């Protein structure tokens, strides 16, 4: 029995020793890990925004609370004095039951008054804490409002700086003047017209025949050339044209009248997003015009998004990407060969969701004579209408001025298929065939929105008939 007891006692001791040793080992291991951690690279904390410091003003307890606590303290003091007096009375007369009772009464009263004072102190502390919390909340709110205002001011300053940078980008790129852009056209039919007018001669049939020939060479198209000549004849009949220089003025007036097709709608006053579908034959300058227009509208304070609807040519999306970068506007692109309708639908949807003012939709160039390609464009137009009721509010036909009179036929077919609402005449700088603009306006009554006189943003000029005619007829 004793042996058994001794045996189990030594087992118990062994177990205790083992537990202690295990505990020691665990503690040492933890200390080693901690030391290693301390020596190693400190863990990188995520960058934290410094929180604004909240300054809480000092708060005092309400006066009424302080007064109550003070009264409780004074009552206690008074009771203590009375207790001392009772104690002295009892010492003087230890057998007096009345003196003893008096002492006990004061002892009870003091205990009560002490509790009362504790209660009042607690209440005062609670009142101070409450006032402190109210003050802290007010201070926090004020600090947060200040921080918000500062952040808004910073964001506004950054926005203004970005806006300014963009404006400078557009301004810096001083492009050609309209007059410079029209130099070749002026050197073409206008030079012939000036030479004709400068020669002092009779306004006879031969002269009119020569004028007819000049107008026919002006790329305005047969229809418009005939109409211009008819208007000259008409005025001659009415004796309004006594000499050749008056013929020039009459032609100028007539051309300005033709070019002043009323530009209904305009860019971009319709309910947002204003969707512009840009169309035209291959290489006329659609993508470049979309890019220039994006930069112009952005500089004018409009928000713009580009839809890369030319998924046909691999480089087209990248080309538009470069413009999106330059103009600092977002772009929606799809994979090469993907459905252009899906891309443009996404662009319009994004504009609706993000309340973007203008969607500029680039499309792949196509021959106006290929019916299937024109049908595809019609489909794209319908898709835009599904993405946003009334879209596209503008179908912008981009016409290359160097094409000359053929551009009139192009414009007619695009107009028949899509209902073109405005056109852009590009590359005026590189051709003497700028007269085509008169033919398009005359035959189709489509307003010109812009003319392109070069490859820079500033080379896209908002069209103004009066200004255009002045530049065309400038000596
Ligand atoms: N000189 C001059 N060049 C221009 C003008 N507008 C566009 N271009 C140039 O014309 C070329 C074709 O322009 P793009 O914008 O690629 O034409 P596009 O219509 O998009 O062509 P596709 O997408 O292939 O149909 C580019 O080299 C442009 O820089 C202009 O007003 N003047
Ligand atoms: Mg293109």
pLDDT single digits (tens) 209-244:
899 999 998 889 899 999 999 999 999 889 888 888
Q: Residue 323 Cα, ligand 2 centroid: separation in angstroms?
A: 12
Over residues 37-53, mean pLDDT: 47
Residue 210 falls inside a structural domain: no
Write the residue with the smallest CA distance to atom 29 of ligand 1.
455
Residue 424 falls inside a structural domain: no
Q: In Å, how far are 377, 379, 383 from 386, measured between CA atoms?
A: 14, 11, 5
CA 284 – CA 278 distance, rounded (Å): 11
Please identify which residue in the block is written with the tokens 């007539």. Answer: 254
Residue 308 has pLDDT above 90, yes or no: yes
Per-residue pLDDT band at 15 (split at 50, 70, 90): low
CA 293 – CA 280 distance, rounded (Å): 16
Write the residue with the smallest CA distance to atom 21 of ligand 1.
283
How high is the pLDDT of residue 171?
62
How high is the pLDDT of residue 349?
97
How high is the pLDDT of residue 475?
74
Residue 38 has pLDDT above 70, yes or no: no
Per-residue pLDDT band at 445 (split at 50, 70, 90): very high
C-beta of 311 in contact with ligand 1 (< 6 A): no
Ligand in closest contact with the CA of 317: 2
Q: Phi and psi (nearest 5°) for 304?
A: -135, 145
Residue 3 has pLDDT above 50, yes or no: no
Residue 397 has pLDDT above 50, yes or no: yes
Q: Residue 313 Cα, ligand 2 centroid: separation in angstroms?
A: 8
Span 242-253, pLDDT tens digits? 888 888 889 999
Residue 22 falls inside a structural domain: no
Over residues 287-302, mean pLDDT: 93
Please identify which residue in the block is written with the tokens 């414009």. Answer: 411
Q: Residue 372 Cα, ligand 1 centroid: separation in angstroms?
A: 24
Beta bridge partners of 423: 397, 448
Residue 56 has pLDDT above 90, yes or no: no
pTM value is: 0.67
C-beta of 316 in contact with ligand 1 (< 6 A): yes
Per-residue pLDDT band at 444 (split at 50, 70, 90): very high
Residue 267 has pLDDT above 60, yes or no: no
How high is the pLDDT of residue 461?
93
Beta bridge partners of 396: 278, 422
Percent of the chain with pLDDT over 70: 85
Ligand in closest contact with the CA of 290: 1
Over residues 111-139, mean pLDDT: 93
Q: Which atom of ligand 1 is nearest to the CA of 310?
A: 23
* Long-range CB contacts (within 8 A, 24+) of 208-217: 208/232, 208/233, 211/247, 214/189, 215/189, 217/188, 217/189, 217/192
CA 207 – CA 227 distance, rounded (Å): 17
CA 295 – CA 271 distance, rounded (Å): 21
Alpha helices in 281-370 (DSSP H): 286-299, 314-327, 340-353
Residue 333 has pLDDT above 90, yes or no: yes
Residue 409 falls inside a structural domain: no
- Name the pairing type of β-strands 448-452 and 460-462: antiparallel
Cis peptide before 290 (omega within 30 of 0): no
Residue 129 falls inside a structural domain: yes
Per-residue pLDDT band at 451 (split at 50, 70, 90): very high
**What's the domain count of the chain?**
1
Q: What angle do CA 323, 329, 332 make, to 5 degrees?
A: 85
Average pLDDT, the chain: 86
Residues 408 and 435 sit within 8 Å (Cβ to Cβ)? no
Residue 103 falls inside a structural domain: yes
How high is the pLDDT of residue 317?
87
Ligand in closest contact with the CA of 398: 1
Residue 1 has pLDDT above 60, yes or no: no
Q: Give the lowest-confidence range in 8-12, 28-32, 273-277.
A: 28-32
Q: Residue 258 Cα, ligand 1 centroid: separation in angstroms?
A: 27
The top-scoring range by mean pLDDT among 148-157, 246-255, 361-370, 380-389 is: 380-389
3-state secondary structure of 436: helix
Beta bridge partners of 363: 309
Per-residue pLDDT band at 45 (split at 50, 70, 90): very low
What residue numbers bound the domain in which 68 lies? 63-169
State both tokens at 379.
Answer: 């489909």
Residue 149 falls inside a structural domain: yes
Q: Residue 149 Cα, ligand 2 centroid: separation in angstroms?
A: 44
Over residues 150-160, mean pLDDT: 88
Write the residue with the smallest CA distance to atom 1 of ligand 1.
454
Question: How far is residue 213 CA from its own chain's centroid?
Answer: 53
CA 473 – CA 426 distance, rounded (Å): 19
The enclosing H or E element of 134 equals helix 97-172
How high is the pLDDT of residue 9?
59
State both tokens at 135.
Answer: 């003050």
Residues 289 and 452 sit within 8 Å (Cβ to Cβ)? yes
3-state secondary structure of 399: strand
Task: Tell me which residue of 279, 381, 375, 290 sits closest to 331, measured CA to CA.
Answer: 290
C-beta of 426 in contact with ligand 1 (< 6 A): yes
Residue 458 falls inside a structural domain: no
Please count the CA atoms within 13 angstroms of the CA of 113 that sit on its side-chain side: 19
Choose between 15 and 197: higher pLDDT: 197
CA 475 – CA 462 distance, rounded (Å): 22
C-beta of 283 in contact with ligand 1 (< 6 A): yes
């Amino acid at each position: 029995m004793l042996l058994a007891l001794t045996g189990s006692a030594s087992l118990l001791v062994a177990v205790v020793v083992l537990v202690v040793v295990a505990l020691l080992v665990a503690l040492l291991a933890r200390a080693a890990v901690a030391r290693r951690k301390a020596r190693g690279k400190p863990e990188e904390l995520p960058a934290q925004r410094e929180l604004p410091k909240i300054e809480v003003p000092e708060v005092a307890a309400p006066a009424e609370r302080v007064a109550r606590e003070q009264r409780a303290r004074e009552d206690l003091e008074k009771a203590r004095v009375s207790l001392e007096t009772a104690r002295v009375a009892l010492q003087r007369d230890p057998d007096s039951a009345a003196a003893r009772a008096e002492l006990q009464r004061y002892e009870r009263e003091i205990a009560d008054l002490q509790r009362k004072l504790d209660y009042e102190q607690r209440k005062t502390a609670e009142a101070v804490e409450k006032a402190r919390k109210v003050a802290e909340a007010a201070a926090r709110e004020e600090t947060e409002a200040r921080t918000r205002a500062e952040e808004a001011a910073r964001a506004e300053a950054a926005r203004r700086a970005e806006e300014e940078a963009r404006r400078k980008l557009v301004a810096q790129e001083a492009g050609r003047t309209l007059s410079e852009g029209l130099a070749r056209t002026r050197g073409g039919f206008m030079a012939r017209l000036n030479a004709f007018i400068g020669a002092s001669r009779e306004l006879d049939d031969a002269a009119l025949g020569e004028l007819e020939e000049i107008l026919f060479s002006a790329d305005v198209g047969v229809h418009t050339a005939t109409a211009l000549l008819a208007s000259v004849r008409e005025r001659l009949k009415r004796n309004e044209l006594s000499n050749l220089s008056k013929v020039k003025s009459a032609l100028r007036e007539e051309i300005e009248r033709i070019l002043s097709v009323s530009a209904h709608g305009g860019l971009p006053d319709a309910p947002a997003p204003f969707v512009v579908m840009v169309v035209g034959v291959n290489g006329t300058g659609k993508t470049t015009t979309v890019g220039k227009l994006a930069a112009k509208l952005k500089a004018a304070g409009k928000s713009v998004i580009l839809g890369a609807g030319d998924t046909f040519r691999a480089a087209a999306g990248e080309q538009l990407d470069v413009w999106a970068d330059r103009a600092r506007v977002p772009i929606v692109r799809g994979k090469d060969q993907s459905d252009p309708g899906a891309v443009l639908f996404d662009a319009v949807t994004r504009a609706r969701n993000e309340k973007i003012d203008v969607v500029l939709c680039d499309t792949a160039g196509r021959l106006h004579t290929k019916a299937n390609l024109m049908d595809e464009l019609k489909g794209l137009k319908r898709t835009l209408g599904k993405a946003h009721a009334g879209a596209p509010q503008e179908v912008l036909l981009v016409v290359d001025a160097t094409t000359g009179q053929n551009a009139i036929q192009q414009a007619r077919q695009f107009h028949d298929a899509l209902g073109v609402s405005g056109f852009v005449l590009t590359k005026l700088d590189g051709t003497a065939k700028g007269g085509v603009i008169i033919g398009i306006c005359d035959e189709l009554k489509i307003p010109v929105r812009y003319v392109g006189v070069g490859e820079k943003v500033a080379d896209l000029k908002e069209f103004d008939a009066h200004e255009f005619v002045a530049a065309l007829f400038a000596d």
